Chain A
Amino acid sequence: MEWPIPLENPETTMASQASLRKNLLSSDRKSLIIGIVLLAVLIGVASMSVDGFASTNNARSILLLASFLGLAALGQTLVATVGGLDLSIPFVIGASNILLAYLFGTSIPPALGIFIIAVLGAAIGALNGVLSYRLQGQALILTLGIGFSLVGAAQIFTTFGSQYSGTVFSQVPAWFSNISAINGKTLGMPFPPVVLIWAVVSAILIFWIHHNRAGRALYAVGNNRTAASVLSISEFKVWVSTYTVSGLTASITGMLLLGFSGGGFVGVGDPYLFTTVAAVVVGGTSLLGGSGGYGATIVGVLVLQVLTSFLVGLGLNYAAQQTVFGLLILPMVALYARAPHIRYQI
């Protein structure tokens, strides 16, 4: 964990892991298996109890919404892997959303506009990274502050000369809407391209993290930054890179959500404030850093999204869904991210 929670010490993790060894499962794999089983059970139960749950339409909508959450949670996963937390994600999403809508309303070519917003998102991420590296242990507050400032500034910028507050209207190019609209087509196939994009990005990321030095460096830093620095792994570079990616993926999510909804709305990011954290945690990446991975987060994202769909099918509203999410986090975390008893930290 990035804020000063007593770190686990190996002497004591040993004790807490004694029971884990018995079934020869590493806690990473264990949480992944639990996640997949949970997902399968959810799908099974939902298909049986909710009419129309097992339809292509519903599957498409689950995957579409999962793509947004998945991309937003990508950065959160990387940041959590190195032991940080990025609470600016919802604000970057909201700001990117309205700023892109604003740019679409100007004479700037849409592609250039998208590029500008992506760079802006990455820059905000890098700023988060540099400042939170300096302010060890305060990443939570810092990213929140940066997020507030960004959203405030973006709204002031887009509201000047407009009587609508919080909402920006402009023409979204059709090709851009197609990427993330529910009726979008991918090379003629009946699902929106964002699903494919998410799948490809996920595959590349997972492969890269497993087989690339830089990917492994994330885990080294997340586990033990002092030991990593002795192996000439630059904590600063790793830290700032993950936050930069987080800013970038958040801004991409915000832009894709514009294509999804058709109008810019700053509040579009709000549900992602804690849901990205929930997806990461339910998947099995410990916020203490150094374990889990994006594969786990994908499972977490799907669990949350299938659960949402199931609860909607049962007639539960957004409010009840939030409660269920909250109730889900506790046992999932208790399964794999318990701190050792203090007596083993002495």
Chain B
Amino acid sequence: MTAISVNNVSKNFGETRALRAASLEANFGEIHAIVGENGSGKSTLAKIISGVVPADGGSVDVLGHSPSSPTEAIAIGVSTIFQEMMLAESLSIWENVFAGSDSFWKRSSSVADKKRRTKEILERLADCPIDPDWPVSSVPLSVKQWIVISRALLQKPKVLVFDESSAALDLEATSRLHHEMLALKADGTAVIIVTHRIAELVKFADQATVLRDGETVGQIGRADMTEENLLRLMSAKTDHSAKSDAKDRVAFGGGTPALRASNIALSTNGQSFNFQLFPGQIVGIAGLDGAGQAEFVRILAGIDKAPQGTVTVWDDKGDEHLVADLASAETNRIAYVSGDRKKEGIFANLSILENFGLALYGRYANKAGFIDRKALSEVFKKEKERLSIKFGRRSDKITTLSGGNQQKVLIARAFALNPRIIILNDPARGVDIGTKQDLYTHLRAFAAEGGAVIYLSTEIEEFFNFADRADVFFEGGLFASFDEDQIGEETILGAMFGQSEPVEMSEVLEQELPSETQLQAAAQ
């Protein structure tokens, strides 16, 4: 029996076409996955089903309704677990679990009962002791995830929409979660799960709707559900291999590295590790949310300070320099591009040109700080052509551009700094396939000229045929390192969950560590 029938739905956010023609048919008593790459529109489709955003075109039928708000959706039996954890951090756990359960005038049950049920469900799901009176801000990320899951489960939904594209659960917890999903399925609930964890998906999903660039490109049934089939549909047109097959593999390891992180620890008493990067090399960085990889690349970029350890770079002459802060990162020509454009990338009210220029004013201003607009304009023109950024006028606000073009402006900004090392923190988030493709090509070209690239991604498919090495983080430290020929979904996913052999220190670090005095001398 059909629970959800979405037909040919489209949705634009300003210039960004999130959905073009998305369709989905889901039945009661099935686990239905929505899969697709970053930016394929799967979260938007989930939000349309749960009544958060209205569709621009097409038809939406959820349990016979077309919900226009979350309130309405919940009332008809649609519960949603959003990609971002919706929590009031300052309130207690039980208040969060039972958020919205009461009507305006009448309680659904007594406070004591709510606390009891909170304790019961959370201790079962999170598998650890819980006091329902604790403020949410005091519990770890995984428990927070369970709180929002509990909230949805307690609503006893007929349709459960679970956007787990960034869920913060480890393997064992994930299997507990899947167990819950199967129980819901047995009760006749339609479970919609938005995910890119394909390996797990094939084990328990009944149907999968595949999105690519805002369009439904296929629906796969239980019988055909294999990783190969899903991946093929998800990325049929995506050719990750910007690298030509003919290109000989460069053996990295000898010679002077471009950058080395020595004895780095991400927390004061965390395990320490080493990392190095050679000119011409592209290193992919992966890990589950909160495994430390994001902190690590920010340390390399000089944004955050390492609680322990040092980051060293080598310049053209082979001299060593320490990277300790943003200033030293800049003088040592390290550029940083964030994929979280909204949070640490763009300046929403400023023009395209200004967004580009803000990073460069330091170079194109005289001693008194006055900006040489002419020179800046030249650079802008050059970089704009190199990355083929499309826009109306450069004085238009950056938000008039699509996500992909916004990202291109930020990458152009990084290239204009003429870096030796470029660090990208999940840059493909929310950008279209064309932009991704361009990005890989440019980074390859950059590496071919001797530049070094650190590329953090939340989608390991991005590393295939692209990265020369992939380093995987687990529980706050560098856990495993894979060479180009070992990079694969299985190996990397396994390492993300801490399931492969820990990396041997000696493999990463072949050269002797420079002594403290050398490092200090280099810093002078």
Chains A and B directly touch (beta carbon < 8 Å): yes
Chain A residues close to B by CB (< 8 Å)? 8-15, 17-18, 21, 24, 26-28, 211-214, 216, 219-220, 222-224, 226-233, 290-291, 343-344, 346
The smallest C-beta distance from B445 to any residue of chain A, in angstroms, reads 25
Among A18, A214, A226, point to the contact of B344 (Cβ < 8 A): A226
With A211-B370, A212-B369, A212-B371 already in contact, the answer to whether A9 and B362 are too (CB < 8 A) is no
Tell whether, in the assembled complex, residue A10 and residue B369 are in contact, meaning their CB atoms are under 8 Å apart: no
Q: Which residues of A contact B345 (CB under 8 A)?
A: 224, 227
Distance, CA A8 to CA B348, complexed state (A): 9
With A11-B13, A232-B326 already in contact, the answer to whether A219 and B399 are too (CB < 8 A) is no
Tell whether, in the assembled complex, residue A343 and residue B399 are in contact, meaning their CB atoms are under 8 Å apart: no
Tell whether, in the assembled complex, residue B369 and residue A213 are in contact, meaning their CB atoms are under 8 Å apart: yes
Tell whether, in the assembled complex, residue A220 and residue B358 are in contact, meaning their CB atoms are under 8 Å apart: yes
Q: Which residues of A contact B399 (CB under 8 A)?
A: 10, 13-14, 17
With A213-B371, A231-B359, A346-B82 already in contact, the answer to whether A15 and B348 are too (CB < 8 A) is no
What are 9 A-B residue pairs whose CB atoms fall within 8 Å in the complex?
A14-B399, A219-B349, A219-B350, A220-B347, A224-B347, A227-B344, A230-B301, A231-B326, A343-B52
Distance, CA A308 to CA B248, complexed state (A): 77
> 3 smallest A-B Cβ distances: which pairs?
A14-B14, A223-B347, A232-B326
Q: Which residues of B contact A9 (CB under 8 A)?
A: 342
- CB under 8 Å from chain A, chain B span 325-358: 326-327, 330, 336, 338, 341-351, 354, 357-358
Cβ-closest chain A residue relative to B348: A10
Distance, CA A219 to CA B397, complexed state (A): 13
Among A12, A222, A346, point to the contact of B13 (Cβ < 8 A): A12
Is B227's beta carbon under 8 Å from chain A? Answer: no
- Centre residue among B13, B15, B327, B392 by max chain A CB count within 10 A: B13
Q: Which residues of B contact A24 (CB under 8 A)?
A: 392
Q: What per-residue 1/0 map shows which CB atoms of B1-40 lie under 8 Å from chain A?
A: 0000000000011111000000000000000000000000
Cβ-closest chain B residue relative to A232: B326
Interface of A is mostly: helix
With A216-B361, A231-B359 already in contact, the answer to whether A15 and B371 are too (CB < 8 A) is no
With A220-B358, A230-B344, A344-B53 already in contact, the answer to whether A15 and B370 are too (CB < 8 A) is no
Q: Which residues of B contact A214 (CB under 8 A)?
A: 369
- Centre residue among B84, B349, B365, B399 by max chain A CB count within 10 A: B349
Distance, CA A155 to CA B373, complexed state (A): 50
Q: Which residues of A contact B212 (CB under 8 A)?
A: none
The smallest C-beta distance from A33 to any residue of chain B, in angstroms, reads 15
The smallest C-beta distance from B409 to any residue of chain A, in angstroms, reads 12
Is B217's beta carbon under 8 Å from chain A? Answer: no
Tell whether, in the assembled complex, residue B47 and residue A230 are in contact, meaning their CB atoms are under 8 Å apart: no
The smallest C-beta distance from A280 to any residue of chain B, in angstroms, reads 15
Tell whether, in the assembled complex, residue B350 and residue A10 are in contact, meaning their CB atoms are under 8 Å apart: no
**Beyond A15-B14, A343-B52: 12 further Cβ-contacts under 8 Å?**
A10-B348, A11-B16, A11-B342, A14-B399, A14-B400, A17-B14, A21-B14, A216-B371, A224-B343, A230-B301, A232-B326, A343-B69
Distance, CA A15 to CA B371, complexed state (A): 33
Q: Which residues of A contact B370 (CB under 8 A)?
A: 211-213
The smallest C-beta distance from B506 to any residue of chain A, in angstroms, reads 34
Q: What per-residue 1/0 map shows which CB atoms of B65-99 lie under 8 Å from chain A?
A: 00001000000000000101010000000000000
Distance, CA A220 to CA B349, complexed state (A): 9
Cβ-closest chain A residue relative to B364: A213
Among B303, B358, B395, point to the contact of A216 (Cβ < 8 A): B358
Q: Which residues of A contact B362 (CB under 8 A)?
A: 213, 232
Q: Which residues of B contact A14 (CB under 8 A)?
A: 13-16, 399-400
Tell whether, in the assembled complex, residue A224 and residue B344 are in contact, meaning their CB atoms are under 8 Å apart: yes
Q: Which residues of B contact A18 (CB under 8 A)?
A: 12, 14
Among A10, A28, A219, A344, point to the contact of B346 (Cβ < 8 A): A10
The smallest C-beta distance from B505 to any residue of chain A, in angstroms, reads 31
Cβ-closest chain B residue relative to A212: B369
Tell whether, in the assembled complex, residue A230 and residue B53 are in contact, meaning their CB atoms are under 8 Å apart: no
Tell whether, in the assembled complex, residue A26 and residue B344 are in contact, meaning their CB atoms are under 8 Å apart: no
- Centre residue among A15, A223, A290, A291 by max chain B CB count within 10 A: A223
Tell whether, in the assembled complex, residue B354 and residue A216 are in contact, meaning their CB atoms are under 8 Å apart: yes
- Centre residue among B14, B52, B53, B361 by max chain A CB count within 10 A: B14
Tell whether, in the assembled complex, residue B326 and residue A230 are in contact, meaning their CB atoms are under 8 Å apart: yes
Tell whether, in the assembled complex, residue B13 and residue A15 are in contact, meaning their CB atoms are under 8 Å apart: yes
Q: Which residues of B contact A291 (CB under 8 A)?
A: 349
Distance, CA A52 to CA B13, complexed state (A): 53
Q: Which residues of A contact B327 (CB under 8 A)?
A: 232
- Centre residue among A10, A17, A27, A229 by max chain B CB count within 10 A: A10
Tell whether, in the assembled complex, residue B330 and residue A232 are in contact, meaning their CB atoms are under 8 Å apart: yes
The smallest C-beta distance from B53 to any residue of chain A, in angstroms, reads 6
Cβ-closest chain A residue relative to B16: A14
Is B461's beta carbon under 8 Å from chain A? Answer: no
The smallest C-beta distance from B357 to any residue of chain A, in angstroms, reads 8
Distance, CA A233 to CA B392, complexed state (A): 29
Distance, CA A17 to CA B86, complexed state (A): 26
Tell whether, in the assembled complex, residue A26 and residue B82 are in contact, meaning their CB atoms are under 8 Å apart: no
Cβ-closest chain A residue relative to B406: A10
Tell whether, in the assembled complex, residue A230 and residue B336 are in contact, meaning their CB atoms are under 8 Å apart: yes
Q: Which residues of A contact B392 (CB under 8 A)?
A: 24
The smallest C-beta distance from A244 to any residue of chain B, in angstroms, reads 17
Distance, CA A27 to CA B396, complexed state (A): 10
Q: Which residues of A contact B344 (CB under 8 A)?
A: 224, 226-227, 230
Q: Which residues of B contact A219 (CB under 8 A)?
A: 347, 349-350, 354
The smallest C-beta distance from B23 to any residue of chain A, in angstroms, reads 22
Tell whether, in the assembled complex, residue B13 and residue A223 are in contact, meaning their CB atoms are under 8 Å apart: no
Distance, CA A275 to CA B12, complexed state (A): 40
Distance, CA A219 to CA B16, complexed state (A): 25
Tell whether, in the assembled complex, residue B342 and residue A346 are in contact, meaning their CB atoms are under 8 Å apart: no
Cβ-closest chain B residue relative to A16: B14
Q: Which residues of A contact B53 (CB under 8 A)?
A: 343-344, 346
Cβ-closest chain B residue relative to A226: B344
Cβ-closest chain B residue relative to A29: B395
